[in-house]
């Protein structure tokens, strides 16, 4: 072959190889474009649900403690040393049962002295009745008799003086004797009046007796203060005293809970205050017995709000408390604050911007395309929320909120 022919052949072969590479590159690019288009335009499988009426219950959940309707902080009324504590924490007691005993030796001595004073006052009153009053009456009678006698003697001496048989000295002596007898008669009369019934001596004796009896009652009361008795049937919630302790009035030694109505006391966020009403039903359970739920009813809502906690105290009455429920046990309470028998609802996670003023959901059209549906939210129950407007029964919506979707996109619905 000539040189020109060789050059032409090599040029042809080079051109053919370059064209082949371009075709291969174009084919790969075409495959990529087709794959991207298929991915871009093919329907996305999404989880959906068909809206239909369902019962929806709105609940407020809180933590509470169990206790009786009221409690008593028991203590002593006098200072003293504790000898014995008759009851333990968690133990039940009956009304009038001794709970605690103080050292009562001093109080017993004081009572014995007071009772002795009573007996002395009673003896004094008896002495007045049996001795003083009769003696006073007899003394008055004797004084009156003596007065009559001296008066007669004075009259005789006056007659003899006028007749000149006696002198002035004899007459003066008779007058003095009469005056002494007169004074003695007046004294005896006063003593008799003082010893009469309702007289001074009787009143004094009776008042002394009354005072002695009052002192004895006070001493007996002080002795009773050395014992702490149960004021009602109930249970010892806590005990803060031991034998040998020196105690003072006003200090809580035992916290007592009477038998009766059991309550659950909860602190609920003030944001839920508008939802709470007296008489609302609730279900409660203790963490240790989570499967054993029991019923309760809202019985009291505090009129004020705890500013530090931002909560309001709510009390729930337990009609039939379970056997496992203990004082101050922590329980979970679910208060039913609203109920809709036939509500259109979706999972809360299906709602976009649920906390804003314009929440919305993805709705599936008849052509299996997405459209944005603004909705109005209503009752919330756990993970579900009621849709008051924007959708209708029988329509299909996405079960979850996904940001990777766009309006008008074709989807392949899959029931959730």
Residue 331 falls within a domain, yes or no? Answer: no
**Per-residue pLDDT tens for 88-131?**
988 889 999 999 999 999 999 999 999 999 999 999 988 888 88
What distance in Å separates the CA atoms of residue 65 and residue 333, rounded to the nearest whole number? 10
Residue 346 sits in the same domain as residue 201: no
Residue 216 sits in the same domain as residue 356: no
pLDDT of 195 = 83
Residue 23 falls within a domain, yes or no? Answer: no
Distances (CA, A) of 177 to 132, 138, 145, 188, 246: 27, 21, 13, 16, 74
Task: Report the pLDDT averaged over residues 309-313.
Answer: 92
CB 194 within 8 A of CB 173: no
Task: Report the pLDDT averaged over residues 172-178.
Answer: 90
Residue 190 sits in the same domain as residue 210: yes
Q: What angle do CA 170, 172, 176 make, to 5 degrees?
A: 120
What distance in Å separates the CA atoms of residue 117 and residue 107, rounded to the nearest whole number? 15
What distance in Å separates the CA atoms of residue 35 and residue 3, rounded to the nearest whole number? 49
What distance in Å separates the CA atoms of residue 222 and residue 301, rounded to the nearest whole number? 42
Mean pLDDT is lowest, of 72-76, 231-235, 271-275, 381-385, for 381-385
Residue 136 sits in the same domain as residue 219: yes
Residue 189 falls within a domain, yes or no? Answer: yes
DSSP state of 278: T
Q: Who has greater pLDDT, 4 or 242? A: 242
Share of the chain above pLDDT 90, in %: 38
Residue 318 falls within a domain, yes or no? Answer: no
Average pLDDT, the chain: 86
pLDDT of 36 = 46
Residue 276 falls within a domain, yes or no? Answer: no
Pick the last residue of a domain from 223, 243, 268.
223
Task: Report the pLDDT averaged over residues 406-412.
Answer: 87
**Per-residue pLDDT tens for 315-331?**
999 988 888 888 888 99
Residue 208 sits in the same domain as residue 356: no
Q: Is the pLDDT of residue 268 over 50?
A: yes
Q: Is the pLDDT of residue 39 over 70?
A: no
E strand or H helix at 227, and its extent?
A: strand 227-229
Share of the chain above pLDDT 70, in %: 90
What distance in Å separates the CA atoms of residue 128 and residue 107, rounded to the nearest whole number? 32
Give the total number of structural domains in the chain: 3
Q: Is the pLDDT of residue 38 over 80?
A: no
pLDDT of 277 = 92
pLDDT of 171 = 85
- Residue 43 has which token pair? 């329907």
Q: Is the pLDDT of residue 37 over 60?
A: no
Q: Looking at 225-298, list the stretches that DSSP marks H as alpha helix, in order from N- to C-terminal side.
A: none
Residue 235 sits in the same domain as residue 95: yes
Task: Report the pLDDT averaged over residues 202-215.
Answer: 90
Residue 219 falls within a domain, yes or no? Answer: yes
What distance in Å separates the CA atoms of residue 249 and residue 80, rounded to the nearest whole number? 9
Q: Who has greater pLDDT, 16 or 366? A: 366
Residue 307 falls within a domain, yes or no? Answer: no
pLDDT band at 35 (very low <50, low <70, confident <90, very high): very low
Q: Is the pLDDT of residue 15 over 80?
A: no
pLDDT of 254 = 94
What distance in Å separates the CA atoms of residue 387 and residue 167, rounded to the nearest whole number? 140
Residue 408 sits in the same domain as residue 372: yes
Pick the last residue of a domain from 234, 256, 278.
256
CATH number at residue 51: 2.40.420.20
**Taking the alpha carbons of 267, 268, 274, 278 in that order, is the dihedral positive or negative?**
negative
CATH number at residue 237: 2.40.50.100
DSSP string computed for 79-145: -EEEEEE---TT-EE-TT-EEEEE--HHHHHHHHHHHHHHHHHHHHHHHIIIIIHHHHHHHHHHHHH
Containing structural domain, residue 250: 70-103+226-256
Residue 97 sits in the same domain as residue 239: yes
Which residues partner with 236 through β-bridges? 256
**Per-residue pLDDT tens for 376-408?**
988 887 788 888 898 898 898 888 877 778 888
Residue 127 sits in the same domain as residue 198: yes
Q: Who has greater pLDDT, 191 or 35? A: 191
CB 334 within 8 A of CB 381: no
Residue 99 sits in the same domain as residue 244: yes
Residue 139 falls within a domain, yes or no? Answer: yes
Residue 115 sits in the same domain as residue 79: no
Task: Report the pLDDT averaged over residues 306-322.
Answer: 91
Residue 110 sits in the same domain as residue 207: yes
């Amino acid at each position: 072959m000539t040189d020109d022919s060789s050059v032409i052949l090599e040029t042809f072969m080079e051109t053919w190889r370059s064209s082949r590479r371009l075709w291969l590159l174009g084919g790969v690019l075409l495959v990529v474009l087709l794959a991207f288009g298929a991915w871009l335009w093919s329907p996305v499988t999404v989880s959906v649900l068909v809206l239909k009426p369902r019962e929806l219950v709105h609940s407020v959940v809180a933590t509470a403690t169990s206790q009786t309707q009221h409690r008593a902080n028991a203590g002593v009324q006098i200072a003293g040393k504790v000898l014995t504590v008759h009851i333990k924490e968690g133990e039940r007691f009956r009304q009038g049962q001794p709970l605690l005993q103080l050292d009562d030796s001093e109080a017993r001595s004081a009572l014995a002295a007071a009772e002795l004073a009573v007996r002395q006052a009673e003896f004094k009153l008896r002495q007045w009745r049996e001795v003083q009053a009769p003696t006073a009456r007899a003394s008055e009678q004797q004084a009156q008799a003596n007065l009559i006698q001296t008066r007669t003697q004075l009259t005789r001496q006056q007659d003899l003086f006028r007749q000149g048989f006696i002198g002035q000295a004899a007459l003066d002596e008779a007058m003095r004797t009469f005056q002494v007898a007169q004074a003695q008669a007046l004294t005896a009369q006063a003593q008799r009046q003082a010893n009469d019934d309702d007289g001074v001596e009787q009143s004094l004796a009776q008042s002394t007796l009354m005072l002695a009896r009052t002192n004895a009652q006070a001493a007996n009361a002080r002795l009773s203060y050395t014992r702490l008795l149960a004021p009602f049937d109930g249970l010892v919630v806590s005990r803060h005293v031991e034998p040998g302790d020196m105690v003072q009035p006003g200090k809580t030694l035992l916290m007592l809970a009477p038998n009766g109505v059991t309550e659950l006391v909860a602190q609920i966020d003030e944001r839920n205050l508008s939802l709470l009403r007296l008489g609302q039903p609730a279900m409660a359970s203790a963490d240790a017995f989570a499967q054993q739920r029991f019923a309760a009813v809202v019985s009291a809502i505090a009129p004020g709000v705890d500013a530090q906690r931002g909560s309001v105290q709510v009390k729930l009455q337990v009609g039939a408390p379970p056997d496992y429920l203990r004082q101050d046990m922590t329980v979970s309470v679910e208060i039913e604050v609203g109920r809709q028998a036939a509500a259109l609802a979706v999972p809360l996670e299906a709602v976009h911007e649920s906390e804003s003023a314009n929440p919305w959901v993805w709705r599936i059209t008849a052509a299996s395309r997405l459209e944005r549906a603004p909705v109005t939210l209503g009752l919330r129950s756990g993970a579900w929320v009621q849709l008051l407007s924007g959708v209708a029964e029988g329509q299909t919506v996405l079960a979850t909120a996904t940001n990777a979707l766009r309006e008008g996109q074709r989807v392949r619905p899959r029931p959730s």
